[in-house]
Structure 1
């Protein structure tokens, strides 16, 4: 694809987000075209040919979107492929376009500027719709104010998305102001504020619930002095919005003075009760995607519900959580939670990033997820095509842009002297690559060998600054010896089977230009059997880089720890520390047995005991569950499963070995054997 193609992809994104409220067809068409482009790029492997190292966070987001579709498909299958359920599945199935969208937006190199320009168009479209409506009504402004403004669509959908678009535009305004584009920033601030005001004309109650949380999401973008002021102003803004909302004021007055809710809320509560009953009857499978509709229709026909429910409440339960619980049971609840909270966690992690574009994109992404959570309290947003498609495109494009910005943000040069330490024994297959990668971030390399019988020492002497051969006292003591020989202010402690990737090297050098912590964890990327694992065992981030002063290693025989003085700050970097754990399965078995037995000896040395074989068994099962399920090891496929089983076996062997160490080596009475 050429630069013209990238411009076309950017234009499609702008059209999709900016035109969402003008016409759902514009949003759907732009999303589909972007996804088709992503599919073509995937087939051609165009993005991977550029050297793209796909972030594991994007894979996790992809899983969240696919799992939602999978849960819906399972529900539809179990109910017997119902027609009503099929229509709902057709809406949910749009989520399978998430990865093609990621590929297209990433390939187009869409960053913060393009993203926020597209977001600004949302506010512009809200204003345009409002002005067009006034013109169509020949200036009947008072009449407009006395009705629920919906911009030609459902007032709830318009109000929610207009509010979200307005808040996102405020984020865009702050971004461009920080970029010294004050005129653009000012115009976007005015447009965003206008869109928020117009959204309130929809009289949507969920807007009032979401507004304070969306405003709070802006706080990290403000200076330290403004943050306190912001926390004072937010309640005033929310109170003002409630007071000026006739519908909200009426609801609150009725609740506070008469103890009664308005008709709309009473109906919703009754619908929620119906959904909860359906879930309690079928907690594991739900009643099916079409089952909710059929149940409400049958209850109305039986006279148990008012006929009004046919008009308002047959399609969904007006609450995302309860709707998924009723139709898909526990899998539905889980799929909804993953769809909201996985993106929320990924965006929120970067809210306080020092990199301005990343922080603003993270704020925008956090707003989208938080907004949908609160909108979903009174509306089944993921059952409405407009809501669902907007969420799909917004999350995919914001996430892609954020990681594009992150990858390009590591530009500073290291200003701290770093010593890399490596301990070895018979590592001739690994040592050259390890030391070469370490040189990307280290001024000094120290290798301590424990009597290798191969060419490890010879190779190391050609690449390291200090190479010494010693005895073998155990991992902890040996690494402490290497640490004591380091002269750098910072130390990078590597194993011979680990590699610093180029992107991780850029990140380390960037952070050590002006460290924001005293030590850094480096996320593993275990690489075995031709596959790089992003989850499971790679879910760990071992401490490897630290300020040398006051730091030491524990004296453990295996699984030593780096002892950081209390009060020091530790952060986790994003780049991956490639870890070649073993050469083949035979080496895996050999290494696993060695580490398990050393672990047994270490625990025995500390006085630990295992009295029955039940404990090793339970610990082994727990390790499998942790690696394969809790750390999402299943996303790594067959190799992920094999790795989880292998580590479960290591855990079992370690505690089984400890059990044997507490038993006599020989029978107490030799005559028992005769």
Structure 2
């Protein structure tokens, strides 16, 4: 029963990114199931001495940091009388649930736990196939329906890069065929992103390139790292610009920026809508910089009043209820405390991943650290132009993957249990 519980938890973790890319259902429910199984696993009696106490000591600062976002949300809601159970749940999924799952995963054999990574590869395959099918059967820009095109392309590029990093993680006794399959998945993901005609997704490519270079060439010099990163970015840019649809959207963005900045600052164009949403968020933040409005729903509720003040257009008021920017949403809703909490969600795990990526660990552990670092930093970049933490399923997936990659990159002893030294 104990072994079955571990295997089921690994299967659930693998299914979460796959379901997120395949449909709009199941991912959030599976995250609840994963937490329940993690709690059951932690409560299960162990026949061998548990290293949990020592492990917890090594993660003491991380545990405290990951609990702070939930505390800031509760504090702001209490002070501003803006109780919202959904916002508290979001903070729980991004904080305490990560800690719970992490310590449960550290009890699972590393060889078994690695198979959860296959879920990200499967998500890349599903995403690329979905975009390709839409591109062949519909006219114009492919729209998945479950995610908007930007969010879908963001996740597709992320999972494609994880497939590339997984070259350092063996899953079978056929390494050659496995490497070819992983490279094909990466290539299909990049092609899929190009077919979405998404502009902002490519802003994260230099980060993905740098992480990959450090993973596969750990002794690379900084100058060569920058040069190689620029070369790969230039090649990716040339590939993206080979698409006429992408070129048209770049030119359109230039026109929209010029119009919004010089002619009509409330134009209902893609770029200017984002400018208006940001302006509205900044206005709300200024009302109470420390605590914000105390509720994420109050942003949408404030738009009619901001329309009367000439800050946003009628179209924006009627069709948008969020900022299209994670940091601005945190600032408008929960002020400086909320912004600090979001930075913790990004960088508390990112610092751990970066340190492990640079350590002389086994390649599978370093590859897991690379995937975790790519996840954290890409969400920073993606969150500048899209509300990546809009839905519970994406929030859950982010938290689950953080815990997974922390467990897989954790230094372990030869027996597969957490090592005595980190």
Q: What's the TM-score once normalised by structure 2's chain length? A: 0.84
Asked whether the equivalents of residues 101 and 393 of structure 1 are also in contact (C-alpha less than 8 Å), the reply is yes
1:141 pairs with 129, 136, 140, which one? 136
Match of residue 14 from structure 1: 14
Instruction: Give CA-to-partner distance per residue, 1:253-299, whole Å, 9 cap, x none.
Output: 65389834681111111211221122222111112213322221322
Q: Does structure 2 conserve the Cα–Cα contact (< 8 Å) formed by 1:284 and 1:328?
A: yes
**What whole-Å deviation, never above 9, does each CA across 1:456-513 have from its counterpart, x for those lacking one?**
xxxxxxxxxxxxxxxxxxxxxxxxxxxxxxxxxxxxxxxxxxxxxx955xxxxxxxxx
Matched residue, 2:258: 259
Is the contact made by 1:28 and 1:389 (CA closer than 8 Å) also made in structure 2?
Answer: yes
1:156 to 143, 150, 172: 150
8 A Cα contact 2:291 2:337, kept in partner: yes
Q: State the distance in 1 between where 2:43 and 2:348 align.
A: 27
Q: In the TM superposition, what are the counterparts of 1:514-553 in structure 2 within 5 Å?
A: none
Per the TM alignment, residue 387 of structure 1 is displaced from its structure 2 partner at its CA by 2.3
- Normalized per residue, the structure richer in strand is 1
Tell me the secondary structure at the aligned position of residue 408 of structure 1: coil
Between the aligned partners of 2:338 and 2:102, the Cα distance in structure 1 is: 25
Where do 1:107-122 residues align within 5 Å? 107-111=107-111, 113-122=114-123
Please list the CA deviations of residues 44-69 of structure 1 after superposition, one character each: whole Å capped at 9, or x if unmatched: 46499533332545444433332222
| Deviation digits for residues 391-412 of structure 1 (CA, Å, limit 9, x no counterpart) | 1111011111111xx113699x
**Cα gap change, 1:81 to 1:234, in 2 (>3 Å):** closer
Matched, 1:191 2:185: yes
Selected match of 2:306 from 288, 299, 307: 299
1:385 aligns with 2:392: yes
The equivalent position to 1:171 in structure 2, one of 165, 176, 198, is 165
Aligned-residue offset at 1:219: 0.6
- Following TM superposition, by how much is the alpha carbon of 1:93 offset from its aligned partner in structure 2, in angstroms? 3.4
The equivalent residue for 2:264 is none
The answer to whether the Cα contact below 8 Å between 2:289 and 2:336 also exists between their aligned partners in 1 is: yes
Match of 1:358 among 356, 365, 369: 365
**How many angstroms apart in 2 are the aligned matches of 1:184 and 1:104?**
29
**Aligned partner of 2:340 among 304, 309, 334:** 334
Report how far residue 193 of structure 1 moved: 1.8
Does the 8 Å contact 1:343/1:369 carry over to 2?
yes
CA distance in 1, matches of 2:47, 2:281: 44
Partner of 1:236: 235
Encode CA deviations 1:551-581: one digit per residue, 9 max, x unaligned: xxxxxxxxxxxxxxxxxxxxxxx44xxxxxx
The residue that corresponds to 1:414 in the other structure is: none
Query: Structure 1 residues 93 and 330 mapped into 2: Cα distance closer, same or farther (>3 Å)?
Result: same
Structure with more helix by fraction: 2
Contact 2:31/2:400, CA 8 A, preserved across alignment: yes
The Cα shift of 1:331 comes to 0.7
Residues 368 and 408, structure 2, Cα contact 8 Å, conserved in 1: yes
Once residues 18 and 165 of structure 2 are traced to their aligned partners in structure 1, the CA distance between those partners, rounded to angstroms, is 16
- Answer 1 or 2: higher relative contact order, Cα 8 Å, separation at least 6: 2
Cα 1:167/1:258, change in 2 over 3 Å? closer
- Asked whether the equivalents of residues 280 and 311 of structure 2 are also in contact (C-alpha less than 8 Å), the reply is no
2:196: which partner in 1?
A: 202
Question: Structure 2 regions of 5+ residues with no counterpart?
Answer: 261-267
Aligned mates of 1:271, 1:230 — CA distance in 2: 33
Give the deviation of 1:18 after TM superposition. 2.4
Change (3 A) 1:59 1:115: farther
Name which of structure 1's ranges 288-297 and 168-177 shifts more when overlaid on structure 2: 168-177
Q: Distance in 2 between the 1:281 and 1:51 partners? A: 48
Give 1 or 2 for the bigger CA radius of gyration. 1
User: Is the CA contact 2:280–2:312 (under 8 Å) kept in the aligned structure 1?
Assistant: no
Aligned to 2:38: 38
Could you tell me how far 1:39 is from its partner in structure 2? 1.3
User: Pairwise mapping of residues 538-577 of structure 1 onto structure 2 (< 5 A)?
Assistant: 574-575=421-422
Aligned position for 1:283: 289
2:263 matched residue in structure 1: none
Consecutive unaligned residues in structure 1, runs of 5 or more: 135-139, 412-501, 505-573, 576-674
Task: State the partner residue of 2:354.
Answer: 348
SS of the residue aligned with 1:19? Answer: helix
- TM superposition shift of 1:248: 5.9
CA contact (8 A) 1:39 1:100 kept: yes
Q: Check the 8 A contact 2:19/2:123 in 1, yes or no.
A: yes
Q: Deviations over 1:58-107 (max 9, x none)?
A: 4444333322222222222223135xx44433433323322221133222
- Aligned to 1:107, the other structure's residue is in SS state coil
User: Does the CA-based 8 Å contact 2:65-2:348 persist in structure 1?
Assistant: yes
Q: Which of 372, 375, 380 is matched with 2:382 structurally?
A: 375
Say what the alpha-carbon RMSD is for the aligned residues: 3.2
Change (3 A) 1:15 1:285: same
Contact 2:12 2:34 in 1 (8 A): yes
2: distance between equivalents of 1:327 and 1:180? 51
Answer yes or no: is the 8 Å Cα contact 2:11–2:116 preserved in 1.
no
For residue 357 of structure 2, give the secondary structure of its aligned residue in structure 1. coil
Which residue in 2 is equivalent to 1:532? none
Kindly state the Cα deviation for residue 33 of structure 1 after the two structures are TM-superposed: 1.3
Shift of 1:339: 0.9
Structure 2 CA distance, aligned partners of 1:86 and 1:187?
A: 43
CA contact (8 A) 2:151 2:386 kept: no
Quick one: which of 268, 271, 283 aligns to 2:274?
268
Match of 1:126 in 2: 127
Kept in 2: contact 1:254–1:260 (CA 8 A): no
SS at match of 2:26: helix
SS at match of 1:271: helix
Report the Cα offset of residue 364 of structure 1: 0.5
Q: Give me the whole-angstrom Cα distance separating, in 1, the residues matched to 2:308 and 2:47.
A: 56
- Distance, in Å, in 2 between the alignment partners of 1:282 and 1:154 is 31
Tell me the secondary structure at the aligned position of residue 367 of structure 1: helix
Instruction: State the Cα distance separating 1:34 from its structure 2 match.
Output: 1.4
- Describe the shift of the 1:257–1:402 C-alpha distance in structure 2 as closer, same or farther (beyond 3 A): closer
1:397 & 1:91 partners in 2: Cα distance?
Answer: 19
